[in-house]
């Protein structure tokens, strides 16, 4: 596993939060993207060598909408970049972590992503991501 690639933050209103985080970081987001399969709209900020991803659910069944309903807005996941997502998944399964989707899916920002269940990681949703070549 390599560096933290981004931190995902669940928000209710992406437009409003874009303004808040632009003020916080002193610069605007560099892209917005909708991932229809996940029911989310995202925006990305580059902060030094890391990124911050804001996520808004686009319908009430979206994992983000459900998260906000249960826990309110806030940090939703931490994403780590990996070189070989399939071998990382195999390694982590062997270590006993619960993998939410064993087959990597296409996430935002041109990445293949796999999530680990927070039950097996002290309550933190972990995303593995590998840049699509």
- What is the contact surface with Zn ion in residues (CB under 5 A)? 8, 53, 79, 127
Residue 84: CB minimum distance to Zn ion, A: 19
Nearer to Zn ion, 96 or 97 (CB): 97
Write out the H or E segment, with its range, that includes residue 69.
helix 63-71
Nearer to Zn ion, 8 or 92 (CB): 8
Nearer to Zn ion, 52 or 96 (CB): 52
CB 35 within 8 A of CB 47: no
Nearer to Zn ion, 8 or 57 (CB): 8
Per-residue exposure over 94-111, b if at least 16 CB sit within 10 Å of its own CB, e if not = eeebebbeeebeebbbeb
**Residue of closest CB approach to Zn ion:** 8
Residue 47: CB minimum distance to Zn ion, A: 14
Residue 119: CB minimum distance to Zn ion, A: 19
User: CA–CA separation, 91 vs 73, rounded Å?
Assistant: 32
Residue 24: CB minimum distance to Zn ion, A: 19
Strands (E), the chain: 4-10, 31-35, 40-47, 50-57, 74-81, 105-107, 111-116, 126-131
């Amino acid at each position: 596993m390599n560096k933290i690639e981004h931190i995902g933050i669940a928000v209710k209103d992406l437009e409003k939060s874009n303004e808040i985080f632009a003020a916080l970081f002193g610069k605007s987001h560099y892209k917005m993207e909708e991932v229809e399969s996940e029911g989310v709209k995202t925006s990305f900020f580059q902060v030094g060598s890391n990124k911050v991803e804001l996520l808004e659910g686009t319908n009430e069944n979206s994992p983000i909408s459900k998260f906000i309903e249960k826990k309110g807005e806030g940090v939703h996941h931490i994403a780590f970049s990996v070189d070989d997502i399939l071998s990382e998944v195999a390694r982590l399964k062997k270590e006993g972590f619960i993998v939410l989707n064993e087959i990597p899916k296409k996430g935002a920002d041109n990445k293949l992503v796999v999530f680990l269940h927070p039950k097996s990681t002290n309550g933190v949703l972990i995303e593995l991501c590998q840049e699509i070549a």
